[in-house]
Structure 1
Amino acid sequence: MEMQVANEWWQNEVIYQIYPMSFQDSNGDGIGDIPGIISRLDYLAEMGITMIWLSPVYQSPMVDNGYDISNYQAVNPIFGTLEDLEELIRQAQVRHIKIMLDLVVNHTSDQHPWFKAALADPKSKYHDYYIFKPGQGVGGEKAPNNWRSNFGNGSSWTKVSDRNEWYHHVFSPQQPDLNWENPALRQAIYDMITWWLKKGIAGFRVDAITFIKKDQDFADITPDGNDGLGKVKRKAENRPGIADFLQELNATTFAPYGAVTVGEASGVPYEEYDEFIGANGYFSMIFDFHYADIDIYSGSEMYKQRPWSIKEWRDRIFKSQLAIQKVGWGANFLENHDQPRSVSKFIKDPVWRNYYGATSLGVLYFFLRGTPFIYQGEEIGMENASRQGMNEFNDISTHNNYDRARAEGWSADEALAAVNKRSRDNARTPMQWNASPQCGFTTGIPWLAPAGNQPEHNVLDEQVDQRSTLNFYKAMIQLHYHSRWATTLTTGMFEPVLDTPDSVIAYRRVDREHDLLIMVNLSSQVQAINVEGGPILLTNWDPTLVKPGILQPYQALVMERKHG
């Protein structure tokens, strides 16, 4: 039976994520900024983008690249001013582009005035804005429990100098967790969110939100490493009681403004998706990491990578789509600021990554049921960097994972190879606007060295090459949203196609009007397929080489089947 879904406005968006430090520098200091983003709005509008998700531009010491916020209502001077951000909102609106901000409310920076006040006076109201506990042992010199930080290296507790008190942090010590058990803290957060919504933003991507509820027993857990610690997520991710916080958050802030919200909701089983994105869910849509993180055992231990197959990946994608379709709406992605480049991760044969690999992955995820997210540079097929030493990495999580691998007995070469594949820096290298050494990103020295593949992947060259990844992405957007098949590709039902070779992922999008078949060969071998022919709406291969019943290496196609 076909599920009836209300046609929410955000179901018709194409969302483009911008990592501000790395998108466009306007003043030559080597760091991307808001005026730089404004200067590239026409590029995004021409591509067909209708909403920008802006990674954090708030005031921050940048220990975790902006996800450690020291003032929620101020802009980091390296990015510009609050007036610049307001101008970005206005200029985007002129081009029919909405702005979505990142919302980081599990923790603040240790430089936030709230936390400074909490440290200065244990009796101040701000002390209860955070999670403080006495230490164990003589003089409280031992952490309150054996929880390991989610960044994978050391305790999730840090001792306060000169007194028997420790504060909690799921992530780095510079990111103390907020105490959501405190109603006064929650109200302060809600006031801040409302302040931003009144400025005309469309909504928020909600960061690490499943960590806001901690088990209040704060008990030790069974160790899962030779450091005697256990993963903090076992006591602080999607825990019982979180529903009360999330319902209140939505009812107080998002719902009254009709805001779009995208939950970064790791740790949520499919059986609970109805609570998160159902008719009365906490969020508009959700990122599902079950298939995105197929190459690792745990997001906090990205140095531990696992073998996987296309068939297993296909099964995970199908399971995700069917689970989300039953209850609500998904946010479809392959890349973001925390993920390596998709062509480097999912296209196992490097020879096929440029154009064919990039476009086959594009078709695979872009026509799934849900709202597609494009991460900056994905549309030109950007690849991972290859760093020769740890001094070349910026990301704190990469360094922590390297240290953890070494502590677990890995050699320096093994640990370096592992973090090279999975470092968050891979997504954060400068956007490649042209083939020059600075990539057209800056006239200065980039804050992070470019990936080095700008001669093969850059906007300037791809704009004029009709068979480029960039122009193929434009064609995908045109087909998805501006063709007579747009409704089917947006709200049509997802139906998996199971009778295919193991390296082929195929599915249908079906409604009363159309029956569309999407097929992607993710191998370097020709694959025979048992499928009825039909008009081809889009393919990444030369149409003259397309043969019925055959998929060329890394060929992707969208075709119309005879309805009924």
Structure 2
Amino acid sequence: MTVAEHKWWKDGVVYQIYPASFKDSNNDGIGDLPGIISELDYIKSIGVDTIWICPMYDSPQVDMGYDISDYENVYPPYGTVDDMDKLIAETHARGMRVILDLVVNHTSDQHKWFQESRSSKTSPKRDWYIWRPARYVNGIRKPPNNWMSNFGGSVWQWDEETEEYYLHLFCPEQPDLNWENEETRQAIYKSAMEFWLKRGVDGFRVDTVNMYSKGSMVDAPITDPRSEWQFAGLQYCNGPRMHEFLGEMNAILEKYDAMTVGECPNTPDMTHVLKYVSAQEKQLNMVFQFDVVDIGQGPYKFQTTPFNWKLPEFKKAIETTQVLHRGNDGWTTAFLENHDQSRSISRFGSDAPAHRIPSGKMLAMMMMALSGTLFIYQGQEIGMVNFPLDWDMTEYKDVDSSNYYKMVDERSGHDEKELASAKAALQHLSRDHARVPMAWRNAANAGFSAVKPWMRANEDYAVCNAEQQKGDKNSVLSFWKRMIELRRQYKDVFVHGDFDVVDMENIDIFTFTKTWRNQKALVVLNFTDKEQKVSIAAGFRDQKANLLASSVDNCAPDALAAYEGRVYLL
């Protein structure tokens, strides 16, 4: 093995923190940086090497901090730049690293750059954002194209003052920066990247990493005849100058030995993905592909019914991300949860009381055995699940959820059946489920805060909290710790090994092998709530199968319990 292949960010485990919901230290109902500092020992105890902190920058919080008004300041309810300096120092003192979210496709409309840009057509910063004149159809003013925003509606917002439209791929309050302008790019690198790299951060998760080069901005094909606005992800992702821009960013990152993981949606062509993550290309270290977490989503995310997928689709999606780095100089990631996804037990296992713990352990085992850098989201390690269907729509705080529900309400003429379907889809897939307060102990508000939190805590904290699980050797948390230890012990085969599905068409059991030189591991996972007969030896008759771990005690030799996972060394 070459030294290059064992970079710190390859063998490590990353723990993602959503500041508003992690831990409230001053009892104002909002999580904060001192709250994170107070639980660094807990995070380290899981076996984690790196923490990733979601946007903690100053922001009006229209999209939970992904609308940044000042890259060089901290959102006051979270703390100060001094608190960030302390957090970086305390994390490093424990032998862990820190990465931040880098959000540079857009800023907040409150950022001073945009305030200057919109002040007049002759402003020196006018060209720092993307402005276009109106189109007129039969004398009626129309936006420059038919692109639909990621949160619904047009991507164009009319500005009365200067009588032009500006582009926003997300909320109207999130205008897109113009990466074609070199002066803008240099300002981004200095303010959003070097300011924090100089303070000791170890890298970035790069938000919407493939959207900076917008291409020709022609109309998107009509895929929803009922709407004036059309899905345009394949138009504005992976534009002609993307590789050039990422090369520029990497030249800065390399000076600090900083790592990057890019959020890479709408990229079905794997050769394109590989170019982003190839070591030789010097662009990104790795990316998040969404094949796995997009399983069961509709053409528009929520236009679907819960559990609208079969296990072979799930296997195929995992295979797509797992073979990315095979036989080349690229790298990949393994994740099932983040701040943009609902809880994995509720989506891919079962959150029924009898099955939530077995499901959580089985999924932990699967993640342990997947190649690439492993990412865990806060609460995943204790098996947190989606909040219940009977919660009122007022509990959904995310702009994506509320916009969708409003759209269905208006489009259907307040049809109760359509609204019930919309709510069922939200209860299954909404980002809100990841954003409820972390469950620390069996106490009011799940021990997150002494006062009513900004978002309601899930009521299951009596049976699902970190304090209780720390002392329970049969808990999901204890199992995650064991799995991370196992991954570290056999890192060649689990982190770097080649992944092969054994039984693609089996709709109940997911079996795969991991191979590294002369080492081979076999992973068998029961994705059903029933016992499944299974012959482990089938197909491996000439190899002795040594059981490394099972997710249940006293496992039967020829049957898998409901949601049981096993890993063998062959």
- The TM-score with structure 1 as length reference comes to 0.94
- Residue 431 of structure 2 is matched in structure 1 by 424
Residues of 1 paired with 2:227 and 2:410: CA distance?
9
1:444 counterpart letter in structure 2: V
1:462 to 452, 464, 469: 469
Residues of 2 paired with 1:447 and 1:229: CA distance?
33
2:409 to 379, 382, 406: 406
- Residue 315 of structure 2 is matched in structure 1 by 314
Contact 1:501 1:527 in 2 (8 A): no
1:447 to 446, 451, 454: 454
Give the direction of change, closer, same or farther, for the CA distance of 1:514–1:85 in structure 2 (3 Å limit): same
Residues of 1 paired with 2:237 and 2:364: CA distance?
31
Contact 2:220 2:232 in 1 (8 A): no
- Residue 33 of structure 1 is matched in structure 2 by 32
Structure 2 residue 9 is matched with structure 1 residue 10: yes
Contact 1:303 1:402 in 2 (8 A): no
- Residue 396 of structure 2 is matched in structure 1 by 393
Structure 2 residue 70 is matched with structure 1 residue 67: no
Structure 1, residues 242-282: CA drift from partner, whole Å, max 9, x if none?
2222222222x222222110010111221222211112242
Residues of 1 paired with 2:504 and 2:78: CA distance?
51
Residues of 2 paired with 1:39 and 1:376: CA distance?
15
Contact 2:217 2:236 in 1 (8 A): no
Contact 1:3 1:326 in 2 (8 A): no
Residues of 2 paired with 1:335 and 1:68: CA distance?
22
Contact 1:406 1:415 in 2 (8 A): no
More deviation, 329-338/313-322: 313-322
- Residue 522 of structure 2 is matched in structure 1 by 517
- Residue 198 of structure 1 is matched in structure 2 by 198
Structure 1, residues 337-394: CA drift from partner, whole Å, max 9, x if none?
0000001111147244421001111111221011111100001100101253322211
More deviation, 114-123/237-246: 237-246
Contact 2:383 2:476 in 1 (8 A): yes
Aligned residues: 553
Q: Give, in angstroms, the shift of residue 491 of structure 1.
A: 1.8
Q: Give, in angstroms, the shift of residue 74 of structure 1.
A: 0.6
More deviation, 389-398/84-93: 389-398
Contact 2:305 2:424 in 1 (8 A): no
SS at match of 1:99: strand
SS at match of 1:117: helix
- Residue 284 of structure 1 is matched in structure 2 by 285
Residue identity (%):
37
1:345 counterpart letter in structure 2: R
Residues of 2 paired with 1:425 and 1:18: CA distance?
15
Residues of 1 paired with 2:498 and 2:411: CA distance?
46
Residues of 2 paired with 1:102 and 1:351: CA distance?
35
Structure 1, residues 73-93: CA drift from partner, whole Å, max 9, x if none?
111101000000000000011
Q: Give, in angstroms, the shift of residue 163 of structure 1.
A: 3.4
Contact 2:265 2:290 in 1 (8 A): yes
Give the direction of change, closer, same or farther, for the CA distance of 1:174–1:100 in structure 2 (3 Å limit): same
- The TM-score with structure 2 as length reference comes to 0.93
Residues of 1 paired with 2:410 and 2:480: CA distance?
43
Q: Give, in angstroms, the shift of residue 200 of structure 1.
A: 1.0
- Residue 545 of structure 2 is matched in structure 1 by 534
- Residue 335 of structure 1 is matched in structure 2 by 337
Structure 2 residue 248 is matched with structure 1 residue 248: yes
Give the RMSD, CA atoms, in angstroms.
2.1
Residues of 1 paired with 2:304 and 2:530: CA distance?
29
Structure 2 residue 556 is matched with structure 1 residue 547: yes
Contact 1:30 1:444 in 2 (8 A): yes
Residues of 1 paired with 2:64 and 2:399: CA distance?
9
Residues of 1 paired with 2:127 and 2:505: CA distance?
57
More deviation, 441-450/549-558: 549-558
- Residue 160 of structure 2 is matched in structure 1 by 161
Q: Give, in angstroms, the shift of residue 131 of structure 1.
A: 0.5
SS at match of 1:187: helix
- Residue 441 of structure 2 is matched in structure 1 by 434
Contact 2:120 2:162 in 1 (8 A): no
Give the direction of change, closer, same or farther, for the CA distance of 1:96–1:220 in structure 2 (3 Å limit): closer
More deviation, 215-224/25-34: 215-224
Contact 1:147 1:221 in 2 (8 A): no
Q: Give, in angstroms, the shift of residue 458 of structure 1.
A: 0.4
Give the direction of change, closer, same or farther, for the CA distance of 1:499–1:216 in structure 2 (3 Å limit): closer
2:453 counterpart letter in structure 1: P
Residues of 2 paired with 1:346 and 1:211: CA distance?
29
SS at match of 2:529: coil
Pairs within 5 Å for 1:140-155? 141-152=141-152, 154-155=153-154
Structure 2 residue 556 is matched with structure 1 residue 557: no
Q: Give, in angstroms, the shift of residue 3 of structure 1.
A: 12
1:189 counterpart letter in structure 2: I
Pairs within 5 Å for 1:263-274? 263-268=262-267, 269-274=269-274
- Residue 540 of structure 2 is matched in structure 1 by none
SS at match of 1:6: helix
Residues of 1 paired with 2:4 and 2:501: CA distance?
19
More deviation, 419-428/23-32: 419-428
Contact 1:134 1:140 in 2 (8 A): no
Pairs within 5 Å for 1:34-183? 34-137=33-136, 141-152=141-152, 154-183=153-182
Residues of 1 paired with 2:238 and 2:145: CA distance?
19
Contact 1:25 1:31 in 2 (8 A): yes
1:369 to 347, 371, 381: 371
1:370 counterpart letter in structure 2: G
2:332 counterpart letter in structure 1: G
SS at match of 1:325: coil
Contact 2:113 2:125 in 1 (8 A): yes
Q: Give, in angstroms, the shift of residue 492 of structure 1.
A: 2.3
Residues of 2 paired with 1:530 and 1:4: CA distance?
40
2:246 counterpart letter in structure 1: L
2:433 counterpart letter in structure 1: N
Structure 1, residues 52-111: CA drift from partner, whole Å, max 9, x if none?
000000000000000000001111101000000000000011111100000001000000
Contact 2:262 2:286 in 1 (8 A): yes
Contact 1:57 1:76 in 2 (8 A): yes
User: Unaligned regions of 5+ residues in structure 1, if any?
Assistant: none
Q: Give, in angstroms, the shift of residue 547 of structure 1.
A: 2.4
Give the direction of change, closer, same or farther, for the CA distance of 1:139–1:36 in structure 2 (3 Å limit): farther
Structure 1, residues 408-455: CA drift from partner, whole Å, max 9, x if none?
436222222221221111000000001222111111110000122211
Contact 1:33 1:79 in 2 (8 A): yes
Residues of 2 paired with 1:231 and 1:4: CA distance?
43
1:258 counterpart letter in structure 2: D
SS at match of 2:323: helix
